[in-house]
Structure 1
């Protein structure tokens, strides 16, 4: 049956991914997932066509609904991009992505649901991952920066951060990503080792820490402990049942969890590693689209 399938698009800073999601099973339909490079610095026409070209591979074996997970800043209700000065998708500023994609895909504008990518990741973990059964939790994704999604009873909320975005919070006189981000970790390692060139990436720094590199260990402990201290207040105000951590940096769980827990003050709630990876925002976006459809029908 195609009626329970949602055509899903996930837009990243360097890629576009598409898949059909089985809204009943809350999983990707076998053989439909595709990820392609996307030049976020290109023209609006090139970006839209790049997204549409990938989306067309999904064919018509779905219920005519489209779920789109996109990074902010974005007007999710109107479907209009608000990127400016963020180093990606600047050409889409002011573009009605709902109308442009509907035209490119010969679809109804009303069939599109746009969801913040971090919220989509959190909802994906709620629908099919580590957050199943949780009533009130925060999901943090760690990669290039710090993404965040706050969920109460299966619905996204702003939680205890401006617009729900933890990266906008300030702690100890600086934004969180000034100490906890891919750029910040690499910069800290470079400064402490006086290596201006060929600075290892976070994965390599983690490997160095495991092999006994004391500087690498200190850099990671500092970043993860700082994140814990910065999140302690917001999570207490939110009265979280759990903290879920995902993203590429979460793959170094053995190095991440101990200093993060210490920074949080060994909280009463569990710190849980996300179970899903690339599929989380796609499943979450489809889950949100399904919920929106049921809401519109008064179910």
Structure 2
């Protein structure tokens, strides 16, 4: 299976892996594996767990040439495969380790057969490669949830944009474009605590605060996105994450506000969900299919 690459998404509590067919730009049926990983464990135990999952996927399919793409959170030296994570509550034991070499030795392959990609960039790369933004040229990707993930695609290559920390409305962007903003705003409006966006979206239309809050969020998102859309001459914005699941409630105000700013752009909702990053990671080997 020359056209198949193992795509991997590394999270703080789990690892998801599957073989991706580069020709069809989709997962090979029956190869998806998701398992918990203790990111505070020793380096040896973390690597052993990763390799167990990788071998499990490879062993279940007839793969003649093993190539691996890994979507990994930063900070990280993606070119050389060296972890730079040290001040987060995850993967601190991997600090300064060359994961290309460590994994290659355990998997009995060569380091060049492993490539790394930023996880936020992987999400956007996946959606452009085989999802909602397929064919986009200048694309902005946002993952809206507990935090704010972001990436820019330029000339076919996605890179982490780190927009979460952008100065905005007297704070930073993530203060206004994440789950905690919805919780805080609902409490301001009602004096009541709500668990999250999914609960808010499920409230009936008799809840006037619901439309007020979602419309405000759409306006805020448009205000935040507008300068980046203009500066990058973007042709598509793709939205993912848990908040994007509630898009019917904020998309109209988002589009209306952009049009007020004389911005006409396609807004796409992510299609690949949890597998976007691993498909994006695998797509960094697209040259295999083209060769």
> What is the TM-score when the length of structure 1 is the normalising length?
0.86
Alignment of 1:258-277 (within 5 A): 258-266=252-260, 267-277=263-273
The answer for unaligned runs of 5 or more in structure 2 is none
What is the rounded CA distance, in whole Å, between the counterparts of 1:47 and 1:184 in structure 2? Answer: 34
What is the rounded CA distance, in whole Å, between the counterparts of 2:281 and 2:233 in structure 1? Answer: 25
Query: Residue 279 of structure 1 corresponds to which residue in structure 2?
Result: 275
TM-superposed CA distance for 1:246, in Å, is: 1.6
Alignment of 1:204-283 (within 5 A): 204-208=199-203, 210-266=204-260, 267-283=263-279
Deviations 1:161-206 (A, max 9, x none): xx6222132112221111111233234334544446xx41221122
TM-superposed CA distance for 1:97, in Å, is: 2.0
What is the rounded CA distance, in whole Å, between the counterparts of 1:242 and 1:227 in structure 2? Answer: 15
Distance change >3 Å, CA 21–CA 213, structure 1 → 2:
same
TM-superposed CA distance for 1:215, in Å, is: 3.2
> What is the TM-score when the length of structure 2 is the normalising length?
0.88
Aligned length: 286
Alignment of 1:1-299 (within 5 A): 2-60=1-59, 61-62=62-63, 63-157=65-159, 164-195=161-192, 199-208=194-203, 210-266=204-260, 267-291=263-287
What is the rounded CA distance, in whole Å, between the counterparts of 2:133 and 2:278 in structure 1? Answer: 16
Distance change >3 Å, CA 30–CA 213, structure 1 → 2:
same
TM-superposed CA distance for 1:132, in Å, is: 1.9
TM-superposed CA distance for 1:265, in Å, is: 4.4
Higher mean alpha-carbon deviation, 96-105 vs 225-234, is at: 96-105
The answer for unaligned runs of 5 or more in structure 1 is 158-162
